[in-house]
Every structure is written in C-alpha cells, then in structure tokens.
A and B are shown apart, each in its own frame.
Chain A
Amino acid sequence: MAAVGSAASWLFRLRAAGAEGHWRRLCGAGLARGFLHPAATGKDAAQRRQVAHFTFQPDPEPREYGQTQKMNLFQSITSALDNSLAKDPTAVIFGEDVAFGGVFRCTVGLRDKYGKDRVFNTPLCEQGIVGFGIGIAVTGATAIAEIQFADYIFPAFDQIVNEAAKYRYRSGDLFNCGSLTIRSPWGCVGHGALYHSQSPEAFFAHCPGIKVVIPRSPFQAKGLLLSCIEDKNPCIFFEPKILYRAAVEQVPVEPYNIPLSQAEVIQEGRDVTLVAWGTQVHVIREVASMAKEKLGVSCEIIDLRTIIPWDVDTVCKSVIKTGRLLISHEAPLTGGFASEISSTIQEECFLNLEAPISRVCGYDTPFPHIFEPFYIPDKWKCYDALRKMINY
C-alpha cells in the first residue's frame, strides 16, 4: 500500500510539473511495474533516455566559406538574419514577439543591434503580418516576416496565395513583392499536437509564384534562408522546430548561399531512392543504414530542400538509376507533397520503375498529441515500406 501510495504521489508530482519526458520513461518501463516497484522504476527511468524519433546527423564542417562556429538551428537562423540586416539597410524583421528575441530565440540580440525600427513586434494578426510584409516589399525594401507557428499561417493564406504569389504576374511585372520572406517554425516536436506540429507545405505547393524552402540542418538553414531573403520572389521558409536545439553543427560565420530549387543527393546508392525534407531527412538516413545492415540494400538519399519549384531532374536522374522511390513526410498522406513527386516521377520514369512508388507519411488525421509516436512516419514504417519495395 505504502509503496503504491508513494509511487502514485511521485508520479503525480512528475505529471504536475509537466515532466512529460519522465512520463514517457515510465510508460516505457511498463505502467504496472512503475506503480508497484518504484525503486525499480527509478532505476529504469535513469537508464532510459528520452528518445526522439530521429538522430540529428551533422554534416562535415564546411571548408569553403571561411571561419565556422558551432551553432544550433536557431543560432544559424539568427546568424543569417544578422548578416542580412548588416548587408541590406532596408531589411526589417517583424512578427509576434520577435523584439525580445522570439519564442524560439531566433531573433535574440537583433533589436539591440539594429534598432527598434528594424526589429519590431506587430499586433497578433497573421493576415496583417503578411499583408504588411507585402507592402514593404512592394516599395523595394526587404521584409522578413515571422509567423510564430506554421499552424497559424492560414489566416495569411489569402495574402500569400492571392496577393504575394500573383503580384508580379497580374501587374505585368510593374510591381512585385520579391523581397518578402516569411519564416515559420514547422513540423512535429514531440508534444505539439494539432496546432504546434503541422507541416503545411502541400497547401503552398499548389500556388505558382511563391517558393517554399525547408532546411534539414543549421548549415543548410543559414545558406537557404539567405538565398530566400535575396531571391527576387516571395519565399516561405519553414524551420523544423524540433531541430532548433537538437541540431548542432559547424556553420560559417560569414554569409553564404545555398541555391534554391536544387535538391541535394546526400548519399549515393544503387538500389532505392529515398526522398525527404526537413527533420525527416535524418529519419531516412537511419533507414538507409538499417537497409544496408539488414538487407544489404544501397540507398540513395535526397534532401529535396525546395518544395516549389522542385528539382525534378535530380530525383528523376536518381530513380532512373535505382528504379525504386520512397518518399516520406510528416504531413498527411492524401494530397501531401509526396503525391506530386510520385505523380511526376511515374510520368517521367515509368519504364525505369521496378516497384510502385512508396509514400510513408502521416495518417489522414489531425496531428494528435498523446498518439504522436504512432502517428509519425518513423524509421520502422519507412524500413518496412522499403523492404516491401525491394521484395516487390
């Protein structure tokens, strides 16, 4: 009785303190055991670590861009923004809570460095943030807007799709808002549920006139964000929030550009092509090692990087070589961007395919809270799909 009581109260204190990670450890140890054997549970909890569904793999230190510094994802974003504001006197950063540094610390220090007219809060209104940003860009100044979570971008959908994307076309190139960049935290984070986990790139993929870019790492993020800011078209830059702290690598201090609309083959292979973007790249990297180890299969891994306009040629070239394609994303299966890739590749590479194209995605549900471990397209689901493709 006493054992159960003390276990229960210990459990309660952990829950009350919002220590979900502890709760997961407890679940992992087996609930019954946890209640009845607090001592044993304590030992298991100490041994088991919070396991994210991926392991971030840093890229080797880049040599060609000068001095580098260890940065995590949010620091690499800050660095890109810092470089932009230093180079371009018209550039301004705005959105909810950016002034004090941002809810994810991406804008820390910038207001002090560049002034309150250049880094400032707006009222809580996404349609206003994007509309305002378009207006700044129409005058030729550089506008860097932040939408606090990609889940909240929808009020701005009209301004993005009907206005920003069409500004140049509808005016016959008299006017444009090319100097607008919208940044937004994106993707699953372990506990975000419906409204802090979404990956809405597919909604925007259907909109000619904008570019959508998603980095997998700090080094990629800085180079891609700088390219977005300098690109003469309105861009949406989604930042995988789960990587803000978890992803750490050496990133050049000086500005550099990574080209848009160019996918990267991050590992060459012969048997299967794996395509993903953002966090999911690290999942499929692990799947590739599992495939090598358990099945002797050699995978070619492609980070798509730009969702639209996307690099059809690189993916085609790879599938022509391997004959098999697996695409994976967190966003729901139906209408997800994997469908666009799948459709185009089967058109272009039909005779090269050895198996149907496989899509491993989130289910067609809103993003759940407690069920996240079951929802996400983890390495086991990807591995299983790959295995079936090999055995087709």
Chain B
Amino acid sequence: MRKLRHRCCSQLPKALLWETGGVGAQTLQVRPLSSQGSCTQPARCLPAAVVKPHPHRQQEQQFSSLDDKPQFPGASAEFIDKLEFIQPNVISGIPIYRVMDRQGQIINPSEDPHLPKEKVLKFYKSMTLLNTMDRILYESQRQGRISFYMTNYGEEGTHVGSAAALDNTDLVFGQYREAGVLMYRDYPLELFMAQCYGNVSDLGKGRQMPVHYGCKERHFVTISSPLATQIPQAVGAAYAAKRANANRVVICYFGEGAASEGDAHAGFNFAATLECPIIFFCRNNGYAISTPTSEQYRGDGIAARGPGYGILSIRVDGNDVFAVYNATKEARRRAVAENQPFLIEAMTYRIGHHSTSDDSSAYRSVDEVNYWDKQDHPISRLRHYLLSQGWWDEEQEKAWRKQSRKKVMEAFEQAERKPKPNPNLLFSDVYQEMPSQLRKQQESLARHLQTYGEHYPLEHFDK
C-alpha cells in the first residue's frame, strides 16, 4: 500500500479522498496539491503520490478531478448515453478507385498519370510476356516436365502497376502470385525457368518447388510456401529501413485468404504501432483455392480492417493498371515521408486455377471465369488504352506475340537441357557453416551412392 498521506502532517490530499474513496492507489497521477490540502507546512510537504510525468509515456494524461471527460488510457473518445451497436457497413463498402473503364478509356482525365509511351509499353510487354510464360510453363507441368506451377492469369495488372510505382531498390516480400513484379524488374526468363526446373542455374540451388522465386539483386525476397509469414517480416524490414534512413519502402503482397492468418493481424498492428514505411498490398482475387470470399470473411474485405489498426487504406480496381499505379505511387511517397503504413486492397479475379494441382471447375462456373477473361482483363484494358493512344496496333501485337513466344520457348528449351545441381547442395546453407554432424551425413550419402548409385537419377545431376 503506497502512503498517500502528507509526510509532514498526515493529511490525505483532499482530491485523492474524493476520487479514490480513500483507498490507496498504485500509480495515481495527480497534480501537486500544495494549495488544495490543508497542510500546515505546504512548502515542505510532498504528497508521496505526486508523480513526475512518466518519461516514456507518449500521451500525457493530464488529470483534472472536476472534468467529466473520459480518462481511460485505452481510447480517445467522448461519452455517449445512447445504447447503440456500430453497424458494420456491408451493403455499400469502401469504394473502388479506378482510372480506366473496362474498355480502357480514362474516366477522369485528372487521374490519368500521363505516363510516357515507353513506360506504358513496358507495362504491356511485362504483362503479356508473363502471360505467355504462364501458358508455356503450365503446359510443361501437364506434360510432366516440371512438377508444379501457378499461373498469374488476371492479376498481371496488380503486379505491374504496383512494381512500376516503386523504386528498383524497394524491398519486395511476396506470397507466390507476384511473378509480374519480378518480370517488371527484368528478371530474365532463364532464371524463372531455372527455378521451376531446379537446374544448375537456379539461384535457389534447386531447393524449393517451382514459382518460389527470389532475387537479391532485384530486392525480391525468396518466396516461401507458408501463407502470410512474410507480413510481419516485411514490417521488420521496413523498420530497419527507417532506422537506416534508407528512403526505401517495403511492399508486402498477400491474398485475401492469407489476410485471415494471425501473422497478418500481427503485421498490421506492428506496422502501425512502430510507424513503419510499408505498403501492404492485398490481392483480393475472389478465391483462396476453392474458398470464396463469402467464406473467408464477413466484414468489408481487407481494406476495412486497415482503419481498425490506424492504417490509411484504399480499395482499388486491381485490373486497372493505372489505378494500381496511382495508389501505389502515392502510398509510397507518403509511407517514406511520414513513416507510416498504407494498405491497398486491389480487387481482381483469379482467372486460372489455384495451381496445377487444382481444377477450379469443381467449385465455380466456366461462365464466371469467362466473364473476367473476356470482359475485364488487365491486359485487354491496357491494350485498348494503347490502341486509343495510337501507341500500338494489330501488326505490332502479332509481331510481339510471336517474339515473346519465341523468347519463352528458347529459354524453356535451354532450361530443360541443363543438368540439376550437384547433390552435395542438399547439405549446404542449413547454417552459414556446415556443422560436423551434417558433414558426416553428407559423407554417408556419398558412400551410399558409391554402392547404390544405379538406383538414383545421378545422370541428370551435376557431377
């Protein structure tokens, strides 16, 4: 029990008596009461409960005993005497920002980013090259050439629009359906293929399933299969960038399904409380494998969660590459300048199956898929824009299709021919240095192969 009486005269400060009913409080913050108490020697008297403002507390709670305002440390709000539950707004949610209509025409000219022709052509070529690569690699899995693949059909706009709005050195944490970001950053086809084939040229040394790309040079952190784990990691990286005064933003991509994970909640909360320069980019594509959004959440999507964490949030048309670009550009500018997180929910549609292990006709209609493929596709909309600008035509389209297909096929054939990495690479990089016990295991495999090597596919592996 803390002593609250004046040391000199044993008086309890009057205001304390009134507020606390005379029971000793633990950390009561009150103004000095030298004038209010009836202490006989006020100058010498220090009520023991008077505290200095807490050195580390951000909000200073100045108490005044006569005020009727709420004093709770946990919320800054007024009292209300009407019992009313806040109605979550599900009829009309957060509006969707767009620049182009479905036919690629600019709706509000003041929102047109007026990007130069070369840049917009780069958007188009990145998206279409990705699309071509997707078709060929999906097919190659069907033919048993690679073990697994995930396409990006319909979401190319989310990748390219956002990547284009960043600096090349901004760090990217992805989930697994952001290959267009790497494509925009000129990751060579050879390296996409090398990772999918797990051949000697794979920077990942053949350790992961296809589409788990990574590139240090292009600041794209290697993909991992567990969902949403990248979210709090991205926040930590942003915090470090802030401390380093790097003028870098970190962007973190994830789907609306991954946003249900605890790691997403953790990431959002940390980013806001620790004031990190990060863009959270949610690709809301309607499905998490077979689970539609109606079974993923009951609130107004992901954008509505942002304000709950104190995060500035926006919802955009993910199939409108300019809308994605504008939102990301502005978010980047402010995140770095103001050291705070931004949440962009890009609405889009997953035209392809979840992966080569999925047949989505089991849970959605072909009509639904066709609608998006034909009526609202990021590549088509941008093509209409290019055509209307006079920056593209049918002839260039035909030539580019042929050229991009040829590039992909060449890279594909070369990737197929290359051997796999040496099996010794099974053992390295577990730690920076190889522990002695692991070295023994490596030696034991080498001895085993000497005797039983014929039962192993050694001929495909580097010697």
Contact = CB atoms under 8 A, between A and B. Distances in A.
| A and B associate | yes
Contact of A123 (B214, B221, B224, B269): B269
A90 B240 CA distance: 8
A92 B236 CA distance: 11
Contact of B430 (A140, A143, A168, A232): A168
Contacts of A100: 56
A76 interface: no
A171 B214 contact: yes
Interface stretch (A172-180, A326-334, A354-362): A172-180
Contacts of A208: 430, 438
B43 interface: no
B185 to A, nearest CB: 15
B243 interface: yes
Given A169-B429, A172-B202, A99 B56 contact: yes
A138 interface: yes
Interface string B239-276: 11101100000000000000000110111011001100
A89 to B, nearest CB: 9
A169 B430 contact: yes
Contact of A131 (B232, B430, B431): B232
A278 interface: no
B46 interface: no
Most A C-beta atoms less than 10 A away, residue of B171, B265, B431: B431
B244 A135 contact: no
A168 B429 contact: yes
B163 interface: no
A132 B216 contact: no
Interface string A23-38: 0000000000000000
A139 B229 contact: no
A389 interface: no
A166 interface: yes
Interface string A116-142: 111010110101101111111111110
B208 interface: yes
A183 to B, nearest CB: 16
A372 to B, nearest CB: 30
Interface residues of B, number: 50
A127 B233 CA distance: 10
A309 interface: yes
Interface string A146-168: 00000000010011001100111
B235 interface: yes
A33 B410 CA distance: 92
Interface in B188-215: 202-205, 207-208, 212, 214-215
A159 B226 CA distance: 9
B53 interface: no
A261 interface: yes
A127 B212 contact: no
A136 B235 CA distance: 8
Contact of B437 (A132, A168, A178, A312): A312
A84 interface: no
Interface string B409-449: 00000000000000000001111110111100000000000
B58 to A, nearest CB: 10
B172 to A, nearest CB: 12
B238 interface: yes
Given A162-B229, A261-B435, A309-B437, A143 B222 contact: no
A209 interface: yes
A120 B274 contact: yes
Nearest to A125: B266
A318 interface: no
Nearest to B239: A136
Contacts of A111: 56
Contacts of A211: 431
Given A131-B233, A162-B226, A163-B229, A176 B270 contact: no
A100 to B, nearest CB: 7
B234 interface: yes
A245 interface: no
Contact of A136 (B202, B208, B236): B236
6 contacts: A118-B243, A131-B266, A132-B274, A135-B233, A135-B238, A312-B436
What are the nearest 7 A-B pairs in CB distance?
A: A135-B236, A131-B232, A128-B266, A171-B222, A135-B233, A172-B205, A309-B435
Given A123-B270, A134-B232, 4 more contacts: A127-B262, A139-B241, A162-B229, A309-B435
